[in-house]
Structure 1
Amino acid sequence: MVRKICVLGAGIIGLYSAVRILEDLQNVDVTVIAEKFSPNNTSDVAAGFWIPHKMGSTNISLIKRWGDETFQYLLNLHESPMASELGIQLVSGYHLNSRQVNPFWKDTVFNLRDLTPEENKLFPNYTNNRFFTSIIVCGTLYLKWLMGRFISLGGKVKSKKLESLSEVMADFDIVVNCCGLGNYHLINDRQMTPIRGQVIRVNAPWIKHFYVASGVDKPVYIFPSKNYVVLGGTSQEGNWDTTPNEEDQRHILDSCAQVVPSLKNVEILETRVGLRPFRKETRLDQETVTFNGRTIQVINNYGHGGCGLTTFVGCAKDVVAMIRGAGVAPRYGAKL
């Protein structure tokens, strides 16, 4: 029997979940329904740097497992001929802090070390500084490829704004809710709140390292990507405004130039704003709903804050495991 599955949301969390379902399970018919698609998602605005942050009180062991699985997946893509097409690259750089930290992800990234005294002189405003190598992925390029992969596997796509989950209950056996911030209205989840992030994409090909400064009032980050350098940023909880703000723009440019002076008067390519889908605790669970006498499995996979591109693979594997638990058979050779 073919099970009809609906995935709500076409950001990195939803689209990869949909692909993984088709790759790992047999006798499934999968449709992605979303109001917005790339390049108009938060995943397109994200810097795409692998580092866990903004996940509230979500269990650290879960974040680490989800993140480690995602890191390994991205690393495998980096080692493939597709890396350039997907905008995936290894990037080394500086993690600057004004307070002592011991990140739980230190053994996932490569070669994390303290800066030498001479290196620390480069960053006099920060006292606890490290250097390491991580992965960066261009969300727009990767989502484009992922959509192609989904279609090639037989996936279907529908553009629609939903007002209620009941709108899809009659047509599907399983609903995977990856609507992110949209769940504030869709299922009235008042734990969802936006964390507004404004970024500037600039033409600065001489920037080869990343710079992340934390432990300060406003975050500062500089990430070299395939076709531009991302400067950020803001972290404004509860702010729903997606219009670029001139005051934020000045702050970003000034703050980044303080860390890397060569960025002063840099050529601006574009400014974008994304709303991180923050929840006190990421929701990845399942429930059963009765609709017109039918039992529907609803899987919730949302509220990843600033970690969508850091945890999407591990979360999708958990989604697949839940669907398998409902009696859907794996494809031959598929591995969780």
Structure 2
Amino acid sequence: MRSGKVSGERAGTDSPRADHSPDDSLVYRIRHALGAYIALTKPRVIELLLVATIPVMLQADRGHVNIGLIGATLIGGWLGAASANTLNMVADADIDQKMRRTQRRPLARHAVTTRAALVFGILLGIGSFVVLWRFTNLLAAVLVMITIAFYVGVYTLILKRRTSQNVVWGGAAGCMPTLVGWAAVTGSLSWQPVVLFLVIFFWTPPHTWALAMRYRDDYEAAGVPMLPVVATEEQVTRQMVFYTGATVLVSFVLIPAAGLVYAGVAILAGAWFAQRVWKLYRETCAGKEVVPLKVFLQSNEYLALLFCGLAIDAVFHLPTIGSYFA
């Protein structure tokens, strides 16, 4: 009996609760809160900002690398994207609770209050505008504000829950880093960033629909009419083939203003991506079991390869294809 009493006292003394000091609790709460606010910004989604912005800025000033300007643009752009993503989560909190893929988001699990998230999103947007206006130019700052307004006001609040073409038109918001990056360097716009804007515009539907095919039941449960929810797999993959073809063809338009590296990557990576989407379509038509997530992952790789090819081309200031015919 004595040993049992001693063991019980030791168990109580050695338990985590007894050793958990107020300071430890405070540190945990701070870390938990920081993690929740970071999650509101969707850090992984912002990777597209880096993939698109830096190569465009390098192309706008071929042969030069202005680290300070690139850094300021990325910081301002990150704040803008974080603002848009946070406000998107505020608007989508109800459907995030219904989807298994999004049930762990901060607002869905009540880790952050709606009011706090709204204020956080607005402050991020203000910070983005200030940074870009101060360290780049007004055009870049205004373009980011337009991006936030379009993504939240048009895509999230209007298109997303009303039409199966939501990501086709709403995806324009994800294309804006090409315009922002070019504007930050030149203070204006031209046909080249517009071409790259269209590359991402046509790339977005097959990229997003591949993921939506994987999580079709989630979107259906949430009442979001993504194309895979309202159309057959064959119809969806046929549309994916069309948009993939448009993506690759539009990427060729930039070849005269770029060098051999970009030209080679655009052709080879484009053929690789198109072949993978075509394979998904053929397997769907044949009634085979398909894995659309492979297309989703390969679409990311394709876009990264294309823009990295452009970056290499621009940094080394390789002769443009157009110069050979001048």
TM-score (norm 2): 0.23
Structure with greater strand percent: 1
TM-score (norm 1): 0.23
Q: Which has the higher contact order (CA 8 A, sep 6+)?
A: 1
